[in-house]
Amino acid sequence: MIPERVNAEAENLRKLIRYHNGIYYAEDRSEISDGEYDALMLRLIELESQWPELSTEDSPTHRVGSQPLSHFPSILWDPPMLSLDNVFSAEEFGEFDRRIRHELQLEEDIVYSVEPKLDGLAVALIYRNGVLLRAGTRGDGSDGEDVTPNVRTLRSIPLKLSSNLSGDLIVRGEVIFSKDDFHKMNRERKSRGLPSFVNPRNAASGSLRQLDSRITASRPLCFIAYGTARWPAGITSQHSLFDFLGRLGIPVNPYNSVCRGVDEVENAYHRLEENRDAMPWEIDGVVIKLNGASLQTRMGTLSRFPRWAAAWKFKAEEAVTRLIDIELQVGRTGKLTPVAKLEPVFVGGVTVSSATLHNEDELRRKDARPGDTVIVRRAGDVIPEVARSLGRSDGERGKRFEFPLNCPVCGGPVAREEDASAHRCMNPSCPAKLRESLFHWGARDALDIEGLGTILAEQLADKDLVGDVSDLYTLTLPQLAALDRMGEKSAGNLLSELEKSLSTSLQRFITGLGIPGIGRTVSGLLSGRFSDLHELMDAGVDEFLAAPGIGPVLADNLYRFFHEKITRGVVDRLLNVGFNPQGRGDDDECRPLLGLTLVFTGGISIPRSEARIMAEKAGAKVTGSVSKNTDIVVAGPRAGDKLQKALDLGLEIISEDEFLNRIR
């Protein structure tokens, strides 16, 4: 039994630590030194180690991180976390204001909430009875990633609110780095010989989405709230909502303001633009919302945007220079990006000598060629890009850049995705994408190899233990046990998982290869068409076209993958280690949703990711939005705009029970 004095000391320590976290992150002030704060935390850790029963879910000691996850579970957002529509000028904002006044029949000037647009990762926090229960990323708006263990490590997020609330409160905001913390972190990484992060936004996204929450805990992320999923009782405006969240200990942006009418909003926009360099965080514009809760409700939402808010981004800084050459970079997913090599030019506070040209379509649209004079800007004030070409003063033009058929890194075939502008290397063993290929091979939708996560994939590639996907099957127990965070037990478990994966289905095998445009749905269609991998590899373009859902681009990509030497060699090596996946496991009678497009909306009892897999096994294509091409909408409780759109389009709407009955 825990002595009363120990209970009392632990509770007092928790209250003190929460208090000092609150004033530091929500009020930007401190009353004790870092050393004094650390002493409080160390004493609480000491007590909880001595008396494990003292530890509670909301204890500040839980911010150190926990064991790595194999994947992020899904988290369902209802109502969805929508994007924002954009305005690009004072004239467009004036039109936004006129539309609202017309629809709401308002004569007087509208009161708006004007908020700096933070450039981070959108996250929602679910509090139940005042205690942090779950947290997740925005994802596609309806289905995000559950990153609760990582969010618990952020000291700016209270694990327990300062007021005893009953019921659920869903707080939405951005996870970001402050400028000072970002630069300090990069200096420390450089001193340890580690690569620097390119910009705060990407660093924040990557840091929060680590499968090992201990990595997240080591990085100085912070959270700034911008709203809630539903209006709390008694809150009638955006301004009063921020006051309410601040009283709970949740950080809000101190630079938010309330403006009446178009002129005040425009003045606030220009003030923030002029003072952005002095801001503690990177901002790339302002978010403008109707301040009144009742007005927001009356305006409602579209399928993707709220009709009561808009983002007004700052203009990017531009400069003129000369384009020397165009080179290709191969990213971790195999994407080929054309990069302009420039005469160095100062723009947006930094000297720029390289700038992205994005993809083939953008390159053609801008018609940028070596030797041209070009305008360069920093897109979102982070990534330099070529905005447009001014040609050459002498009228002469260099040759147009042509995308290669083979990867500049490994020589493997390059394919352009169907209905997309990206070119990708198709070779799973390309050194530029090997880490990602290994992780993808073991993912749940592919071979589903438990333990083969991002951290292990990086170690295997970085230590040259694996140079090809097939090399996974030649790894030994001593090799794996010697890796960080492994040991003999984990190594043995992974070897068992790898052995088990040798008997995988044709659908999972094809998905694991990562052929551009060939995900689990198309792989399922192929596995129902071909009897085994050998028949698939020997098929011609016409035979691929005969499979449902396969168009000319995908058919050509498949044919090239299985007939070009480098990628065919990857498959041959996998066959040599023991794979022999079989197809045609499901005939059309066992795939009752074959060829149908299906959308889930509202709450359903089974995890959304599992429901998707069940639907795809039954032959359906699952999408995230309702359109005229949708065949079936599975609607659960609290279904919102998607259900209404389905009703408007006259689509077939079924319940979860009806869906389960159909696929049995």
Model pLDDT for residues 551-605, shown as the tens digit of each residue: 888 899 999 999 999 999 999 999 999 998 987 654 444 578 877 889 998 888 7
Confidence label for 7 from pLDDT (cuts 50, 70 and 90): confident
Output phi, psi for 568, to 5 deg.
Answer: -60, -35
Q: What is the pLDDT of residues 518-531, one digit of tens each?
A: 887 788 878 888 88
**What percent of the chain stands above pLDDT 90?**
47
4's CB contacts (< 8 A; 6+ apart) are none
Q: What is the pLDDT of residues 281-331, one digit of tens each?
A: 989 899 999 999 999 999 988 877 899 999 998 887 788 999 999 999 998
Q: What is the pLDDT of residues 639-648, one digit of tens each?
A: 878 888 899 8
3-state class of 452 per DSSP? coil
Surface-to-core class of residue 330, CB atoms within 10 Å of its CB (0-12 exposed, 13-18 middle, 19+ buried): buried
Q: What is the dihedral of CA 49, 53, 59, 62, to 10 degrees?
A: 50
pLDDT of residue 587: 44
In this predicted structure, the answer to whether residue 637 has a pLDDT above a threshold of 60 is yes
Per-residue DSSP letter, 32: S
Confidence label for 79 from pLDDT (cuts 50, 70 and 90): confident
SS (H, E, C) 63-110: HHCCCCCCCCCEEECCCCCCCCCEECCHHHHHHHHHHHHHHHCCCCCC
Q: How far apart are the first and last CA of the chain?
A: 53
pLDDT of residue 16: 83
pLDDT of residue 236: 96
pLDDT of residue 294: 94
500 among known catalytic residues: no
pLDDT of residue 67: 53
Confidence label for 69 from pLDDT (cuts 50, 70 and 90): low
pLDDT of residue 382: 61
Q: What is the mean pLDDT of residues 480-505?
A: 92
Q: What is the pLDDT of residues 371-412, one digit of tens each?
A: 999 999 875 546 788 988 999 888 888 889 999 999 999 999
Q: Are the beta carbons of 458 and 435 closer than 8 angstroms?
A: yes
Q: What is the mean pLDDT of residues 603-609?
A: 76
- Distance (Å, whole) CA 161 – CA 131: 6
In this predicted structure, the answer to whether residue 218 has a pLDDT above a threshold of 90 is no
In this predicted structure, the answer to whether residue 25 has a pLDDT above a threshold of 60 is no
Q: Of residues 117, 289, 313, 621, which has the active-site annotation? A: 117
pLDDT of residue 563: 94
- Distance (Å, whole) CA 200 – CA 383: 11
pLDDT of residue 589: 47
Q: Are the beta carbons of 624 and 641 closer than 8 angstroms?
A: no
Q: What is the mean pLDDT of residues 473-493?
A: 91
In this predicted structure, the answer to whether residue 29 has a pLDDT above a threshold of 70 is no
Surface-to-core class of residue 653, CB atoms within 10 Å of its CB (0-12 exposed, 13-18 middle, 19+ buried): middle
pLDDT of residue 652: 92
Lowest mean pLDDT across 7-16, 92-101, 355-364: 7-16
pLDDT of residue 264: 97
Higher pLDDT, 461 or 302: 461
pLDDT of residue 661: 83
**What percent of the chain stands above pLDDT 70?**
92
Q: What is the dihedral of CA 462, 489, 208, 44, to 10 degrees?
A: -130
Confidence label for 126 from pLDDT (cuts 50, 70 and 90): very high
pLDDT of residue 620: 83
Measuring CA to CA, which residue among 311, 289, 277 is closest to residue 381?
277
Domains detected in the chain:
4-64 (1.10.287.610), 86-310 (3.30.470.30), 318-389 (2.40.50.140), 404-585 (1.10.150.20), 588-663 (3.40.50.10190)
**Alpha-carbon distances, residue 378 vs 183, 197, 375, 518, 607 (angstroms):** 19, 17, 10, 34, 40
pLDDT of residue 418: 67
